[in-house]
Each structure stands twice: as structure tokens, then as C-alpha cells.
């Protein structure tokens, strides 16, 4: 059993990474309340977000720019439970996930008819609609958003103010969940269905794949996982407002991290987050004397260079060095 | 009734402006199937250029829009040379994402250099000028911008339909390989299309400085509206873009006045979604 688990290299890497990630918070002073702890938490969170997007857009080929809507619904789910109903985020988060899945199916069913750029622009429009609706919806705090009250620390309220190990472990749990789901999909029949739809919907249908069902279920799964990340984000920031969670910029984070790491690959979202999040957090902290927006200038430059030089992202570079041939074929296609 | 005419005029005027902003995007999309995500930031660059020309040299935007158009022609062509050409055909969304990177770069560079403050030129020739028309108040700078938009749009339309270069552009859009076999230098056509697209948005940005404040985020909303206009009109169709832009302008001003100002963009994007779901390739698309 154990030998079977460590059969291939990818498995070894995965469990090795998990072991390090689990041990980290128990080494005193590494996570705690430190800045590194914050960065590590954000890496895990954004990797999980990007991976959730990767299910529908990477594996299934439906490039969605609307994931901040689902992320935002999850964030509002947790925040509404705590702020408006004096309840626990543990009830709000699953409801948010469910709501995101339902909304995603309702939105996607008609939009999947659209092809290429028309689909992409439709998802932009949906983000704008949701953003503005939440801005004027007083029940959810409108433009001011929802501010958390001060609550006692602990898992019950999922909030910590002194040592932030809890947040790190929470992010790690979400990360493991999302990545395990994708690993399961990759090895399962569902994974082949998704890839079949990506490489040719008509062909897949002619072989008996119900492409509408495959796309909708992938979208619902992807949306609910994104909503779970959103719930964590609300807990972590202790507040939520529409521009923070439901904006084109937030949607693009899902996209860009995955693209930088490698679209449609298992490791891509993690690699992308490992590069972009430290860049974002450390430039914000240490290059602030250069003025506002330096992190985003560097970010933009990296995206341009990656898209020009290696659209397969970091995975493409790794493949180039490990298996020169495959990377070349896919990269130049 | 007075209100109705006022709202109608406002809608038409902003619609014409949207048409000019969207025309360049429509051309790029139609000929090359590329979405230039930095389109709104091109607009912002033109606005900053004409703002600083006005502020430092004291030249009115009424004349400096020419500089905006010329400068953005080269920005567009350069974007094609450096970014689009190298990302085209590599991955499905590569040009879109690369230009998104460019938009982040431009937006945050201006944020960094020029601060997020809103900047409005004061003392321009047309500043604050209005006149009465059928009981409605028409702002002169907006009217002049709208007339310019129409003229530029007609010019681009004439260029594409009636000149040899235009035929070459159309041929390239229809079938790149076949056009190459007919001796068309498609590489130059693409360069030209990006240049013209940039010039359109440059002219729009230059004229807008007469009555709109420039700030680093100014492009974001305009680029979204431009995407919607282009997709609604059907890609590559200049009359489609004009019609869709007028529709969007009218929807915006009527819901803004008769429903509530905060929901006007909700209505704009909702109309777009409804139309696009009925006609997946836009009103004038094929």
C-alpha cells in the first residue's frame, strides 16, 4: 500500500510537499504571527483558488473570467452568517458554496453556447453585473461591505488575532481538498471527459460524452471550491466588500496564477502562486518607497514575457528541460 | 418631454463616443481575432498625453487630439510588433492575457508617476459651453466629440470599403493564407490594423480630455464598454459597432435617468447578455 502510494515521481513530490507544509506551523516562530506566515497562507489560498479555476478553464477549456463572482458569493456566505445572523462561518461557507454552484450552473448553461472571445466577454459582463448589484444591495452591506465584529479566537469562530497558525492550517486544509479533488479528477473518468471536451466538443459528443453535463458539473464543482476559498478570504481579512472580492482584478488573479504556472496542469496553480504571491507581498512590503503599484508593474511585465516566451508557463519551462521534445511540440503548436 | 429629449441627446452623444473607442477594437478583433485588453489603457495614455500637452504647452485638446491619434498609432503598431506578433497562435488566449499584462503595466505606471488623482484641464476653449436645443441643454465639447467620432468612423469605414489598403485588410481578415498568395503582405496589414485601431482610440482620448478628468482607472470602464459594444455589434463590423454603441449609450442614459444612476451599467451589461444569447455572434455578426 505504502509502496503503491509512492509509486511515481509526482506522488513523491506531492506527499513530500504536504509533509513540509504540515510540519511548518509546528516549528516555533516560522508561521505564528510572522510576515512569512502571512505569505505562506496566501500562497496556499491562491494556489487553491487557481486550481479551482483550472478545473473548468484548464482541464475543460472553458476560459472563465467570472470566477470572482463565485469567490465573492462564498465570501459573502461566511460574512453574512457571522455579521448579519450572529452565526458561525461553518454554516455560512457551505451555504455559500451551494449558492455559488447553483448560480454558476444558471449562468453557464446559456453562456456555454458562446464560443471563444464571446464567452470570455460574457463572463466579464457577469462580473460587472454582480459587482454593481452587490454594491447597491443594502442587505449585504452595499458599497460599504460587511465588517466583522470582534470575536473570541479559535476554531469555532474561525478567527485568530494573535498567533495565526489557525489560518495557515485552514488554508492548508482547503489547499489539500482542492488539489486532491483535481488529482482524483485527473485519474478518473471525469478527467478524460473534461480533456475530451477541451480538445473537441463535437468529437467528444460523437463518442457519447454528454458535453453539456460534463461542462456544467465541472463548472459547479469549480465554482463551489472557489466559493470555499472566498469564505476563507472573508474570515482572514475580517471584512468583505464588492470591489475586494467581486471584481475583474480578482477574477484575473485566478487566471494569471494558473497561466503563469501552467494551464491545465496539476502543479501549475501551485507554481504560479509560489512565484506571484511572494512577489506581490514582498514588493508591497519592501518596494513601497518606489510608490504605488510597483508590484503590479512587475506582475504585468512577467505576464507579458511569459505569454510571449512560454505560454505554457513555468510547467512549460520545466518540461522544456526535462523532456525537450514534448514541450517544444506543445509550445510551438 | 424636455427630460426625454435631454436623456435622448445624452445617450446619443455618449453612444457616439463609445463607437469611436470601440471602432479600433472592432477592427483588431475582426481582422486578427485578437482582443486588445489594453484598449482602455491606450485611451488613458492618449488622455494623459493631451492633458500634459494642454498643461505644459498650453495647446487646447481641440487641436492636440491629432497628437493623440498619431502617438497612439505608433503605440498600437509597437504593441503589435512586440507583443501580439509573438503571442499570436501560441495558446488560445495568449494575446488577450499578454495585453492584460500590458494594461496592468500601463495603468500602474501612470498610477506610480502621475498619482491616482483626477486631473481635468481648465481654461480650454470649449469649457462649460452649452446651448439650448428643443428644450434640452447640449454640452458643446460632448457634441464636438460626437461629431468628430462620426467623421473618424466614416473615414475608417471608407478606408476599409473603398481603398486598395482596405480591400487588402478585408482579404486578410477573410483568409490569411489566400491573401498572402495574392501578394498581400499580411504582416504589414496587421501592423496597420493595430496602428489604425490605436489611432481611433487616441483621437477619442484626446477629445475626451476637453470634458472628462483623466486618472489611471479611466480606461477600465471604457474598455469593458468597448468589449461589449464590439461583441454586440458583431466583430469587425464598423456599422455594427456604431449601432451597438448608440444602443448602449441610450440604455445607459435612459436607465440612469428613469430607473437609478447606480443600475445603469447593470442594464448595459444585462442587455448585452440577453442579445448575445439570442444572437451568439452579435447583431451584425455572421
Q: Which residues of A touch B266 (CB under 8 A)?
A: 128-129, 132-133
HSE of B206, CA atoms in CB hemisphere, 13 A: 25
Distance CA A145, CA A147 (A): 7
Q: Which helix (DSSP H) or strand (DSSP E) does residue B164 occupy?
A: helix B164-174
CA diameter of chain B:
59
Lowest-confidence region among A63-72, A226-235, B269-278: B269-278
**Strands A146-147, A239-240: pairing kind:** antiparallel
Is B8 buried (19+), middle (13-18) or exposed (0-12) by CB count in 10 A?
middle
DSSP A159: B
Contact A228, A91 (CB under 8 A): no
C-alpha distances (whole Å) from A178 to each of A45, A48, A95 are 10, 6, 18
Task: Judge whether residue A329 has pLDDT over 60.
Answer: no
Tell me the chain A residues in contact with residue B35 when contact means C-beta distances shorter than 8 Å.
117, 120-121
Ordered by start, the domain boundaries in chain B are: 2-278
pLDDT band at residue A325 using 50, 70 and 90 as cut-offs: low
**CA dihedral angle for residue B241, residue B285, residue A211, residue A200, rounded to 10 degrees:** -100
Q: What is the largest CA-CA distance in chain A?
A: 59
Tell me whether strands A239-240 and B130-133 are parallel, antiparallel or unpaired.
unpaired
Distance, in Å, from the CA atom of A182 to the CA atom of B34, rounded to the nearest integer, reads 31
Backbone φ, ψ for residue A140 (5° rounding): -105, 20
Location of C-alpha cell 453539456? A212
pLDDT in tens, B20-46: 999 888 888 888 888 888 999 999 999
ipTM of the shown complex = 0.85
Of B96, B112, B227, the CB nearest to A293: B112
Name the packing angle between helices A189-199 and A165-187 (round to 10°).
80
pLDDT at site B103: 92
Percent of chain B with pLDDT over 70: 99
Q: How confident is the model at residue A160 (pLDDT cuts 50, 70, 90)?
A: confident
Does B105 sit within 8 Å of A301, measured CB to CB? yes
pLDDT of residue A33: 66
Residue written as grid cell 468612423: B153
CA nearest neighbour of B229 among B16, B4, B41, B3: B16
B interface test, pick of A125, A200, A309, A328 with most B CB neighbours within 10 Å: A125
**CA dihedral over A113, B284, B226, B187, signed as positive or negative:** positive
Render pLDDT for A225-248 as a digit per residue (tens, 0 to 9).
Answer: 999 999 999 999 888 999 889 988
Looking at domain B2-278, which of 1.20.120, 3.40.1710, 1.10.3470, 3.30.1040 is its CATH number?
A: 1.10.3470
Closest approach of B67 to chain A, Cα-based (Å): 26
Amino acid at each position: 500500500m505504502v509502496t503503491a502510494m509512492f509509486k511515481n515521481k509526482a506522488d513523491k513530490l506531492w506527499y513530500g510537499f504536504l509533509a513540509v507544509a504540515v510540519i511548518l506551523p509546528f516549528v516555533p516562530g516560522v508561521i505564528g504571527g510572522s510576515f512569512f506566515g502571512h505569505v505562506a497562507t496566501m500562497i496556499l489560498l491562491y494556489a487553491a483558488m487557481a486550481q479551482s479555476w483550472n478545473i473548468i478553464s484548464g482541464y475543460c477549456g472553458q476560459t472563465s473570467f467570472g470566477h470572482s463572482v463565485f469567490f465573492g458569493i462564498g465570501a459573502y456566505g461566511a460574512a453574512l452568517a457571522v455579521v448579519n445572523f450572529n452565526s458561525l462561518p461553518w454554516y455560512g461557507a457551505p451555504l455559500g458554496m451551494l449558492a455559488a454552484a447553483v448560480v454558476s450552473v444558471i449562468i453557464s448553461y446559456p453562456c456555454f453556447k458562446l464560443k471563444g472571445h464571446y464567452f470570455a466577454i460574457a463572463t466579464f459582463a457577469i462580473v460587472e453585473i454582480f459587482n454593481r448589484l452587490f454594491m447597491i444591495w443594502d442587505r449585504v452591506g452595499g458599497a460599504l461591505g460587511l465588517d466583522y465584529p470582534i470575536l473570541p479566537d479559535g476554531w469555532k469562530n474561525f478567527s485568530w488575532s494573535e498567533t495565526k497558525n489557525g489560518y495557515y492550517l485552514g488554508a492548508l486544509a482547503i489547499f489539500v481538498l482542492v488539489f486532491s479533488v483535481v488529482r482524483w479528477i485527473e485519474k478518473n473518468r471525469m478527467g478524460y471527459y473534461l480533456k475530451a471536451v477541451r480538445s473537441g466538443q463535437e468529437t467528444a459528443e460523437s463518442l457519447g460524452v454528454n458535453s453539456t453535463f460534463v461542462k456544467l458539473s465541472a463548472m459547479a464543482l469549480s465554482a463551489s471550491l472557489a466559493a470555499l476559498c472566498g469564505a476563507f478570504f472573508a474570515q482572514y481579512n475580517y471584512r468583505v466588500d464588492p470591489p475586494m472580492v467581486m471584481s475583474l482584478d480578482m477574477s484575473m488573479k485566478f487566471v494569471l496564477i494558473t497561466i503563469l504556472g501552467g494551464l491545465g496542469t496539476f502543479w501549475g496553480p501551485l507554481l504560479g502562486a509560489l512565484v506571484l504571491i511572494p512577489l506581490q507581498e514582498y514588493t508591497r512590503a519592501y518596494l513601497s518607497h518606489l510608490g504605488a503599484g510597483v508590484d503590479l508593474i512587475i506582475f504585468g511585465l512577467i505576464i507579458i514575457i511569459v505569454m510571449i516566451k512560454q505560454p505554457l508557463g513555468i510547467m512549460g519551462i520545466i518540461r522544456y528541460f526535462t523532456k525537450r521534445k514534448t514541450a517544444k511540440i506543445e509550445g510551438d503548436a | 418631454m424636455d427630460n426625454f429629449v435631454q436623456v435622448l441627446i445624452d445617450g446619443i452623444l455618449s453612444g457616439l463616443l463609445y463607437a469611436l473607442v470601440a471602432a479600433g477594437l472592432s477592427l483588431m478583433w475582426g481582422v486578427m481575432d485578437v482582443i486588445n485588453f489594453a484598449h482602455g489603457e491606450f485611451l488613458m495614455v492618449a488622455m494623459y498625453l493631451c492633458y500634459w500637452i494642454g498643461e505644459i504647452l498650453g495647446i487646447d485638446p481641440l487641436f492636440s487630439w491629432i497628437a493623440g491619434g498619431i502617438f497612439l498609432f505608433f503605440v498600437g503598431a509597437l504593441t503589435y510588433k512586440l507583443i501580439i506578433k509573438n503571442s499570436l497562435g501560441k495558446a488560445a488566449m495568449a494575446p488577450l492575457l499578454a495585453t492584460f499584462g500590458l494594461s496592468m503595466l500601463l495603468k500602474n505606471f501612470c498610477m506610480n508617476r502621475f498619482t491616482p488623482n483626477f486631473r481635468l484641464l481648465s481654461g480650454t476653449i470649449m469649457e462649460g459651453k452649452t446651448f439650448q436645443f428643443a428644450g434640452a441643454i447640449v454640452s458643446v465639447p460632448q457634441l464636438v466629440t460626437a461629431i468628430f467620432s462620426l467623421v473618424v468612423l466614416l473615414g475608417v469605414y471608407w478606408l476599409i470599403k473603398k481603398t486598395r489598403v482596405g480591400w487588402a485588410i478585408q482579404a486578410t481578415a477573410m483568409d490569411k493564407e489566400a491573401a498572402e498568395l495574392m501578394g498581400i503582405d499580411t504582416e504589414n496589414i496587421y501592423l496597420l490594423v493595430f496602428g489604425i485601431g490605436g489611432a481611433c482610440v487616441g483621437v477619442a482620448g484626446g477629445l475626451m480630455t476637453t470634458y472628462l478628468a483623466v486618472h489611471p482607472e479611466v480606461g477600465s470602464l471604457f474598455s469593458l464598454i468597448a468589449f461589449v459594444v464590439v461583441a454586440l455589434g458583431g466583430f469587425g463590423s464598423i456599422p455594427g459597432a456604431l449601432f451597438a454603441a448608440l444602443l448602449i449609450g441610450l440604455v445607459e442614459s435612459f436607465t440612469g435617468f428613469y430607473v437609478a444612476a447606480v443600475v445603469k451599467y447593470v442594464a448595459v451589461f444585462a442587455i448585452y447578455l440577453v442579445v448575445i444569447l439570442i444572437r451568439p455572434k452579435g447583431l451584425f455578426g455572421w
